[in-house]
C-alpha cells in the first residue's frame, strides 16, 4: 500500500496533516501502537522540515512486507552541511518560523532516533530526498 501526500510550503497551518492521516491508516490496519508512535514522530518531523526548509514537496509512505518506508522530496535549497544539521539544537530556521513554534533544531536528530534507517540525499540548490525505514 502506498499513500502520497503533497506538502505545501505556503501554508504552515496544514503542517502535520500528512502524518496525522497516515497515522490513522496505520491504526485501521492494526499496526502496533509503539510502531505507530515512531512513524508518527519521524513523519511529522520530516514533514515539517520539508515544509519549513524545503519550501514544500511530497511524501510517499509505503507499507510493504515487514517495513514502512517514508520518502520525502523537495526542490528546496538543499542542506549545505549535513553533519552540522544532524547536531541537536542546530537550526537554519528564520525568526518568523521560530515564532510559529518550529525550528528548534531537533528535526533530523529526532527522525534518526525514531527510525531504523535514515538516508539523506541532498545537493545545494537542487533539493533534498530523505528516505526513512521503520521495521514492523
Q: Is the pTM of this model over 0.85?
A: yes
| pLDDT tens by residue, 32-82 | 999 999 999 999 999 999 998 999 999 999 999 999 999 999 999 999 999
The DSSP secondary-structure symbol of 73 reads E
Integer Cα distance of 2 and 70 in angstroms? 10
Domain locations in the chain as residue ranges: 2-135
Please give the CATH number for the structural domain made up of 2-135. 3.30.565.10
pLDDT grade, residue 92 (50/70/90)? confident
Q: Is the pLDDT of residue 105 over 90?
A: no
User: How would you class 13 by CB atoms within 10 Å of its CB: exposed for 0-12, middle for 13-18, buried for 19 or more?
Assistant: exposed
Amino acid at each position: 500500500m502506498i499513500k502520497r501526500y503533497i506538502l505545501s510550503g505556503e501554508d504552515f497551518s496544514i503542517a502535520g496533516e500528512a502524518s496525522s492521516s497516515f497515522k490513522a491508516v496505520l491504526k485501521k490496519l492494526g499496526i502496533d501502537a509503539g510502531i505507530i508512535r515512531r512513524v508518527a514522530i519521524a513523519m511529522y518531523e520530516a514533514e515539517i522540515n520539508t515544509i519549513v526548509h524545503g519550501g514544500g514537496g511530497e511524501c510517499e509512505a509505503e507499507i510493504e512486507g515487514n517495513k514502512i518506508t517514508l520518502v520525502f522530496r523537495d526542490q528546496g535549497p538543499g542542506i549545505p552541511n549535513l553533519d552540522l544539521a544532524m547536531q541537536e539544537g542546530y537550526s537554519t530556521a528564520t525568526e518568523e518560523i521560530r515564532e510559529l513554534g518550529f525550528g528548534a533544531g531537533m528535526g533530523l536528530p529526532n527522525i534518526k532516533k525514531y527510525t531504523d534507517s535514515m538516508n539523506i540525499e541532498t545537493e545545494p540548490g537542487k533539493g533534498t530526498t530523505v528516505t526513512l525505514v521503520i521495521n514492523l
